[in-house]
Copies of this chain bind each other. A is one copy, B any other.
Amino acid sequence: MALIVQKFGGSSVADAERVRNVARIVTDTYKAGNDVVVVVSAQGDTTDDLIEKAQEINPRAPKRELDQLLAAGEQISISLLAMAIEALGYPVISLLGWQAGFNTNSVYGAARIKSIKPNRLQAELARHNIVVVAGFQGINRYDDLTTLGRGGSDTSAVAIAATLHADKCQIFTDVEGVYTADPRKVDGARKLKEITYDEMLELATLGAQVLNNRSVEMAKKYSVEIEVLSSLNPVPGTIVKEVAKLEKMLIRGVTKDTDVALISILNVQDTPGVAFKVFSKLSGKHINVDIILQSFGRSGTKDIVFSVSKENGPLAIELLKGLPALAGAKVLCDTDVAKVSIVGAGMETHPGTASKMFEALYERDINIKMISTSEIKISVIIDAKDADRAVSAVHAAFAPKD
């Protein structure tokens, strides 16, 4: 008998028929002799609908109230799933984030899990209940509801798996696993049998929207083995775990991320501390900065270019325009860009990889605006219009010749 944590996203529980489908998957697992904890997100578009309601009433709604509002989404989905499981004749109980013991910090809208008090979860498992837990939510030390941000249900599932020392954490999605590229867009994209945490982390960060990156970080930290698989098609998915490092350089995937805004600060006075002032200002407002490029401009000035998510573009511009250190500099924002990346362990020992990627883009006449490399990835910023062509070209260049 094993303890298995299963997580189902919003599209997997979008309507009554799909809720029943999830109930069947869960009860099949329970019937096979396992303890089961199920984590679910809000149904389908519920979260977006709630945000729309809030926008209509107050476009700058307090984040605490927004979290109070959004947490209702999973409350609905967990109770409905519990009802569906009960209808199949199995013992079940649904738990809200706070009932399941999720304690978080107080960053409303993007809270971090501080701890999970496992008492209630353990007690319900001891009663042989299937336990359905609301993902994405918890409470802070003031007893106020918090949410973990988009994709937070993945993190909830991994956190429970880590806390209860679960044997497996299965993340059900609408794809069959992790692919070398988007299978709907790239011919020859293949499903990976397994992948390391670090590789998955790069893929997640880079926009392969399969797993939330915080959940992968947490899985790595606590050695939780994750399986990504389909809730509609019962075939083996992709296992995310620590695997022995491969001698041979292996490209795990090619990804595209269009949620990128490129911010350019031109003609900055070349005095010490300017970069510090720029990036501390941004991090103070929780704006994550990705690729940074600094270059010398004309006489005694320099240019700083970096990327942020599209959503944060306008706020970043606003913050920078008010910065005294940037007086006289020009601040521009380009949202018409995309980031295309290749991910694979062992990349640093294969210097030919980058040039092979650049060559593939050059052959398609695709202009590279920025480049960033790490141990296991190479990213380029290009025009948004070239993104899909770029992914295909790069994928073809690295695809196994078989």
A residues near B (Cβ < 8 Å) are 16, 19-20, 50, 53-54, 56-58, 60-62, 64-66, 68-69, 71-73, 75-76, 78-80, 82-84, 86-87, 93-94, 96, 99, 120, 143-145
Contact = CB atoms under 8 A, between A and B. Distances in A.
B53 A65 contact: no
Contact of A53 (B16, B54, B86): B16
Contacts of A78: 68
Contacts of A19: 57
A66 B65 CA distance: 24
A68 B64 CA distance: 21
Contacts of A57: 16, 19-20, 80, 83-84, 87
A58 B84 contact: yes
Nearest to A61: B83
Nearest to A43: B53
A40 B62 CA distance: 19
Nearest to A75: B72
A143 B100 CA distance: 10
B83 A58 contact: yes
A53 B80 contact: yes
Please tell me how many copies of the chain the complex holds.
2
A79 B65 contact: yes
A54 B69 contact: no
Contacts of A61: 83, 86-87
A69 B69 CA distance: 14
A71 B75 CA distance: 8
18 contacts: A16-B57, A53-B80, A54-B83, A58-B83, A58-B84, A58-B86, A60-B87, A61-B83, A61-B86, A62-B83, A62-B86, A65-B79, A68-B75, A71-B75, A72-B73, A72-B75, A99-B144, A120-B143
Nearest to A87: B58
A50 B76 CA distance: 8
A90 to B, nearest CB: 12
A68 B56 contact: no
Given A19-B57, A64-B93, A68-B94, 19 more contacts: A16-B53, A16-B56, A57-B87, A58-B83, A58-B84, A58-B87, A61-B86, A65-B82, A65-B83, A65-B86, A66-B79, A68-B79, A68-B82, A68-B96, A69-B75, A72-B76, A72-B79, A75-B75, A96-B145
A78 B83 CA distance: 26
Contacts of A76: 50, 53, 69, 72
Contacts of A87: 57-58, 60-61
A217 to B, nearest CB: 30
> Nearest 9 A-B pairs (CB), nearest first?
A69-B79, A58-B83, A68-B79, A58-B87, A72-B72, A72-B75, A61-B83, A16-B56, A65-B79
A54 B56 CA distance: 28
A144 B96 CA distance: 9
A347 B117 CA distance: 60
A19 B20 CA distance: 35
Contacts of A66: 79, 83
Contacts of A82: 62, 65, 68
B75 A94 contact: no
